[in-house]
Chains A and B, each alone.
Chain A
Amino acid sequence: MASHVLLIEDEPNIAEAIRFILSRDGWQVSTMTDGIGAAEAVRAARHDLVILDLMLPSCSGLEVLEAIRADPATEAVPVLMLTAKGQGRDREAAERAGVSRFMTKPFSNAEILASVRELVAR
């Protein structure tokens, strides 16, 4: 059974790119354009990985991460965080919140694919 990835990204083009890359590698990808309800979705669907954009329209990626980590049912789910801001401060905050990996946009396709494989295999 293919591993299930939840992609939360508000930029449709980027979401499409990531979805294409992962689907081609055999992953099952669900997408959300907003962080609202994301934690509940993870809890319900038992995703194997969450790819989370830091800057989301309604609530920030950090809040979503904290919600996932606060719930015992989802706290162990690996979270890959993406950001276009690329500031050290954001990385630190994400790490404090328990992020599994932090990546700065833009990234190469091989890079994100390797990261997803590594995080789910673990």
Chain B
Amino acid sequence: MPFNILVLSCLAYVAFLFLVAFLAERRAAMGRIGWLRSPMIYTLSLSIYCTAWTFYGAVGYAARSGLEFVTIYLGPTLVFVGWWLLLRKLVVIGRQQRVTSIADLISSRFGKSNLLGVVVTLLAVVAATPYIALQLQSVTLSFGVFASETPEGWALPDRDSTAIWVAGGLALFTILFGTRNLDAKEQHHGVVLAIAVEAVVKLVALLAVGIFVVWGLAGGPAEMIERIDASSIADWDLQPGRWAGLIFVSGAAVICLPRMFQVMIVEDGEERHMARASWAFPLYLLLMSLFIVPIAVMGLERMPAGSNPDMFMLTLPLAEGQGTLAMLAFLGGFSSATSMVIVESIALATMVSNHVVMPIWLKLRPKAAMSGDVRRIVILSRRLAIVAVLTLGYMYYRLSGGSAALAAIGLIAFVGVAQVLPVLIGGLYWRGATRMGAVAGLVTGFAVWAYTLYLPSFGPGAALSVAVFEQGLGGIGWLRPQALFGVEGMDPLLHALFWSMVLNTVAFCGVSLFTFPGPVERMQGAAFVNVFDAEASGPQGWARGRAEPEALLVMTQRILGKEAALAVFAAEARGQGKDGYLPDATPDFVAGLERRLAGSVGAATAHAMISQIVGRATVSVEDLMAVANETAQIMEYSAELESQREELTRTARQLREANEKLTQLSVQKDAFLSQISHELRTPMTSIRAFSEILTEGDLPPEMVANYGRIIHEEAIRLTRLLDDLLDLSVLENGSVQLNLSLANIQQLIDRALASAGHTRPERVFEIHRDLPSENLFVRTDADRLVQVFINLISNARKYCDAEAPELKITVRQRAGRVSVDFVDNGSGIPKQSQGIIFEKFARLTDQTRAGGAGLGLAICREVMANLGGTIGYLPGQGGAAFRVTLPLRLEQQAA
């Protein structure tokens, strides 16, 4: 068959796939998903497990190692038959947590650790590289078979450039359909349908070749079995260790391979589809393996010695002149290779862009996270990642020489991805697994795998020197890559599998036991491990012991604030008789906590949050954290409002107080005016009444004289009152003009005593003085000070009720101030009145004896304030006691 036609039909097939994918995408875009997501499509999409390795390599495997190839099918079969053990949990978690890749799953389980995401991504890329190389190799080989058109001369003169074309074409197809748009759930309906079609093509091709071999070449099943018995394949020995190892590693691979995870969990993720696939997919695998042995046997029998058994699928029909059948087989192999590469590179590109490119990019340009540019960057990074993955595959293909047996390369990749298994299983079933443990396990397993299997696969002297192979790393014998710890003679693959898995698991468990998970890790751990309890149990009360008190505390803190949360927890802990603030999460406590949280965030949210921790999850932890953070922000905001409200209240209180003060002042002013009115009207009343009486005449002369004297007295009283008011007003306004001069206290007291003598001159008053101590000079307004002295002495003369009234005047000088005390021997001023005597009109007893308007002491107080001094009442001195203090030198105040 001409090579050109092969290329053409190849292109036509690709174009057909494009069309299928395009139509499916369009259908999905219109919302008519329907059968695009059905158990059948799901099962067929799972068939990407059967790559070119399976398609071509299984025959070669069988030709070399007999039935051992069956292990590659047995592993996945066991996993799917027992799907409810592990896969169901993965599917439910994948749906609940919106997992986008296996790296995302691991990272998510261990507290959204980006480090873990990077580690798993790196591991997946490195492990996938030989696998992708394997696909490129098989397609290149198959082209080579047609190019040479002879079974023996399968080598293509320019096979490297063919591989580049193949890689480029695959990259293009993947970019076109795998990165057309961004979907939150990373689902690609077009790609899935295309690989389902390819799954049919490869199955049909394999069955067709098998039927041709059995019925066309061998002459029927019975003859075929005879030939098989006669062939070398029948002589194979069962190696139990290797079988168990291979079944394990293929089972692990079907779970952990990025592309399998993509189609199994990410693209579909429905339990009922998986339930169907649990028998349909093993059936598909059975059909795929049914004719492997016959084809291998007939190939070995018919094909010349030395021909590559990996290519029997093609060379056998070609040698028999079945060009069309060979063409079909070629398309089957092509389908196997392309579907694998496409899905694998989509999965890897998602991981690389989500866990490596985007975190770095967002760190470099934090502001860009707000703009719409992110989607563009994501798509671009996916496309670049696809190109990079295929470039890596191509480079591995070139480096490894492209001649190693397909099956061997496939197994290297399987062991590599199996390193994720311990962490995955641990993460799903063991709450104690921690992030650091996961990192330790993955890195250890990865390193052991690379050292014992991956690097040696390039051959001695390529990646690892011959010396390392023979003497171990750095000459240490027990570090020989294929005889770790001195274990020799083991199958290299089993050796690598054993040590990598053992050391991986030991590191994972060991480090997990000695590290403590963070709060998010704990919550995620609970969500993962208890995923079914959430769905199975009813809505009534919370089960005992489900919830981690720490996780509850973290959540509560985010809602109620730190202090409040700690208080609640500490109170409950005390109630349970425990120290600290971590009570047991009893059902009652959890229910009570839910009600408390409901008060802050509403019942639905509170229930969702509690169920997240207790393990009945319907929303993702991330959503809840976001809700909690929002709530915290709202609380902060309302606290701010609260403080603003308090400030307003404070201001209002101050205003109210000011208003009360004003009202009080107003009342005082009214009272003052009322008092003035009284004080003015009283003398006016007498004056008016007696002047009217005098005007009417007809009075004896002595009464005229008496009434005239009353009028005169009252007029003087009026004048004095007006003088006092005026004086007070001037003093209070501070507009008083002080007349400063040096004055001798003794002389001032003399003046005051002389003036006050006019008050009740009939009383004999004994004055006690200490003249030497009075001989002090002060700089002050002498007239004003004398006015104060007169007032105090007059008051004593008026009010002292002693039989033999005495007044003691004492002068002291201390620290630049002078004090003058006036103490009489009367009954003094009652305690309750002492506070008001300096107020205006605070006359205590009836004015018949006083004759003043009650402004005297108020004026004294104002005078002393103007003189820079004070006047106060001294309680407990026996009689009425006043103290006047003033500075020795009063300086003229500026303005």
Q: Say yes or no: A85 contacts B674, CB within 8 Å.
A: yes
With the chains together, A104 CA to B674 CA distance in Å? Answer: 13
Contacts of A87 in B (CB 8 A): 670, 674, 677
Q: What is the minimal beta-carbon distance from B104 to any residue of chain A, in angstroms?
A: 85
Contacts of A104 in B (CB 8 A): 681
Q: Say yes or no: A109 contacts B692, CB within 8 Å.
A: yes
Q: Say yes or no: A105 contacts B848, CB within 8 Å.
A: no
Q: Say yes or no: A17 contacts B693, CB within 8 Å.
A: yes
Say which residue of A18, A21, A106 sits within 8 Å of B684 (CB atoms).
A106
Q: Say yes or no: A108 contacts B681, CB within 8 Å.
A: no
Contacts of B689 in A (CB 8 A): 14, 17-18, 21, 106-107, 109
Which residue of chain B has its CB nearest to the CB of A56?
B846
Say which residue of B687, B693, B713 sits within 8 Å of A109 (CB atoms).
B693
A72 at the interface (CB under 8 A from B): no
Q: Say yes or no: B710 contacts A10, CB within 8 Å.
A: no
Given contacts A10-B848, A17-B690, A17-B693, contact A85 B677 (CB under 8 A): yes
Contacts of B688 in A (CB 8 A): 106-108
Q: Among the interface residues A10, A11, A105, A108, which one has the most CB atoms of the partner chain B within 10 A?
A: A105
Q: Among the interface residues B674, B685, B845, which one has the most CB atoms of the partner chain A within 10 A?
A: B685
Query: Please, what's the 1-or-0 string for B707-720, where 1 marks a CB less than 8 Å from any CB in chain A?
Result: 00010011000000
B308 at the interface (CB under 8 A from A): no
B817-840: which residues lie under 8 A (CB-CB) from chain A? Answer: none
With the chains together, A65 CA to B692 CA distance in Å? Answer: 29
Q: Say yes or no: B693 contacts A21, CB within 8 Å.
A: yes
Q: Say yes or no: A14 contacts B686, CB within 8 Å.
A: yes
With the chains together, A86 CA to B676 CA distance in Å? Answer: 11
With the chains together, A109 CA to B694 CA distance in Å? Answer: 12
Contacts of A106 in B (CB 8 A): 681, 684-685, 687-689
With the chains together, A18 CA to B713 CA distance in Å? Answer: 18
Given contacts A57-B845, A85-B674, contact A105 B692 (CB under 8 A): no
A38-66: which residues lie under 8 A (CB-CB) from chain B? Answer: 55, 57
With the chains together, A63 CA to B364 CA distance in Å? Answer: 90
Q: How many interface residues does B have (CB within 8 Å)?
A: 22
Q: Say yes or no: A105 contacts B693, CB within 8 Å.
A: no
Which residue of chain A has its CB nearest to the CB of B696?
A109
With the chains together, A120 CA to B328 CA distance in Å? Answer: 143
Contacts of B670 in A (CB 8 A): 87
Contacts of A12 in B (CB 8 A): 848
With the chains together, A66 CA to B799 CA distance in Å? Answer: 32
With the chains together, A58 CA to B116 CA distance in Å? Answer: 95
Q: Say yes or no: A84 contacts B693, CB within 8 Å.
A: no
B656 at the interface (CB under 8 A from A): no
Contacts of B685 in A (CB 8 A): 11, 14, 17, 84, 105-107
With the chains together, A53 CA to B688 CA distance in Å? Answer: 17
Q: Among the interface residues A17, A57, A104, A107, which one has the most CB atoms of the partner chain B within 10 A?
A: A17
B682 at the interface (CB under 8 A from A): yes
Contacts of A33 in B (CB 8 A): 846, 848
Say which residue of B680, B681, B692, B846 sits within 8 Å of A10 (CB atoms).
B846
Contacts of B845 in A (CB 8 A): 57
Query: Please, what's the 1-or-0 string for B495-526, where 1 marks a CB less than 8 Å from any CB in chain A?
Result: 00000000000000000000000000000000
B376 at the interface (CB under 8 A from A): no
Q: What is the minimal beta-carbon distance from B492 to any residue of chain A, in angstroms?
A: 115
Contacts of B678 in A (CB 8 A): 55, 84-85
A81-104: which residues lie under 8 A (CB-CB) from chain B? Answer: 84-87, 104
With the chains together, A95 CA to B475 CA distance in Å? Answer: 124
With the chains together, A70 CA to B507 CA distance in Å? Answer: 104
Contacts of B848 in A (CB 8 A): 10, 12, 33
Contacts of A109 in B (CB 8 A): 689, 692-693
Report whether over half of chain B's contact residues are helix, strand or loop; otherwise say mixed.
helix
Q: What is the minimal beta-carbon distance from A6 to any residue of chain B, in angstroms?
A: 19
Report whether over half of chain A's contact residues are helix, strand or loop; otherwise say mixed.
loop
Given contacts A17-B693, A21-B693, contact A11 B677 (CB under 8 A): no
With the chains together, A20 CA to B689 CA distance in Å? Answer: 10
Q: Say yes or no: A17 contacts B677, CB within 8 Å.
A: no
With the chains together, A107 CA to B848 CA distance in Å? Answer: 22
A71 at the interface (CB under 8 A from B): no
Q: What is the minimal beta-carbon distance from A82 to any residue of chain B, in angstroms?
A: 8
A25 at the interface (CB under 8 A from B): no
Given contacts A10-B846, A13-B714, contact A84 B681 (CB under 8 A): yes
Q: What is the minimal beta-carbon distance from B634 to any residue of chain A, in angstroms?
A: 55
Say which residue of A17, A21, A57, A86 sits within 8 Å of B681 (CB atoms).
A86
Q: What is the minimal beta-carbon distance from B791 to any residue of chain A, in angstroms?
A: 22
B697-736: which residues lie under 8 A (CB-CB) from chain A? Answer: 710, 713-714
Contacts of A84 in B (CB 8 A): 677-678, 680-682, 685
With the chains together, A106 CA to B670 CA distance in Å? Answer: 20
Query: Please, what's the 1-or-0 string for A12-36, where 1 marks a CB less than 8 Å from any CB in chain B?
Result: 1110111011000000000001000
Q: Say yes or no: B674 contacts A105, CB within 8 Å.
A: no
Given contacts A57-B845, A84-B677, A85-B674, contact A14 B682 (CB under 8 A): yes
Contacts of B692 in A (CB 8 A): 108-109
Q: Say yes or no: B681 contacts A11, CB within 8 Å.
A: no
Q: Among the interface residues B687, B713, B845, B846, which one has the most CB atoms of the partner chain A within 10 A?
A: B846
With the chains together, A84 CA to B846 CA distance in Å? Answer: 16
Which residue of chain B has its CB nearest to the CB of A90?
B674
Q: What is the minimal beta-carbon distance from A80 to any residue of chain B, in angstroms?
A: 14
Contacts of B677 in A (CB 8 A): 84-87
Which residue of chain A has its CB nearest to the CB of B692?
A109
Contacts of A20 in B (CB 8 A): 693
Contacts of A108 in B (CB 8 A): 688, 692
Contacts of A85 in B (CB 8 A): 674, 677-678, 681
With the chains together, A21 CA to B714 CA distance in Å? Answer: 19
Contacts of A17 in B (CB 8 A): 685-686, 689-690, 693
Which residue of chain B has its CB nearest to the CB of A58?
B846
Q: What is the minimal beta-carbon distance from B705 to any residue of chain A, in angstroms?
A: 14
With the chains together, A84 CA to B678 CA distance in Å? Answer: 5
Contacts of A86 in B (CB 8 A): 677, 681
Contacts of B713 in A (CB 8 A): 13
With the chains together, A21 CA to B685 CA distance in Å? Answer: 13
Which residue of chain B has its CB nearest to the CB of A20?
B693
Which residue of chain B has its CB nearest to the CB of A112?
B689
Q: What is the minimal beta-carbon distance from B710 to any residue of chain A, in angstroms?
A: 5
With the chains together, A106 CA to B685 CA distance in Å? Answer: 4
With the chains together, A86 CA to B692 CA distance in Å? Answer: 22
Q: Say yes or no: B846 contacts A57, CB within 8 Å.
A: yes
Query: Please, what's the 1-or-0 string for B300-322, where 1 marks a CB less than 8 Å from any CB in chain A?
Result: 00000000000000000000000
Which residue of chain A has its CB nearest to the CB of B693?
A20
Q: Say yes or no: A16 contacts B710, CB within 8 Å.
A: yes
Q: What is the minimal beta-carbon distance from B52 to any residue of chain A, in angstroms?
A: 112
Q: What is the minimal beta-carbon distance from A78 to any residue of chain B, in angstroms?
A: 21
Q: What is the minimal beta-carbon distance from B580 to any residue of chain A, in angstroms?
A: 69
Which residue of chain B has its CB nearest to the CB of A86?
B677
Q: What is the minimal beta-carbon distance from A28 to any residue of chain B, in angstroms?
A: 19
Which residue of chain A has its CB nearest to the CB of B684?
A106
Known: A55-B678, A109-B692. 16 other contacts (CB 8 A): A11-B685, A13-B713, A14-B685, A14-B686, A14-B689, A17-B686, A57-B845, A84-B677, A84-B681, A85-B674, A85-B677, A86-B681, A87-B674, A106-B681, A106-B684, A106-B685
Q: 24 A-B residue contacts at CB 8 Å?
A: A10-B846, A10-B848, A11-B682, A11-B685, A13-B686, A13-B710, A13-B714, A14-B686, A16-B710, A17-B689, A17-B690, A17-B693, A21-B689, A33-B846, A57-B845, A57-B846, A84-B678, A84-B680, A84-B682, A105-B681, A106-B684, A107-B685, A107-B688, A107-B689
- Give B residues with C-beta under 8 Å from A: 670, 674, 677-678, 680-682, 684-690, 692-693, 710, 713-714, 845-846, 848
The 6 A-B residue pairs with the shortest CB-CB distance, nearest first, are A17-B689, A84-B681, A13-B686, A106-B685, A105-B685, A57-B846
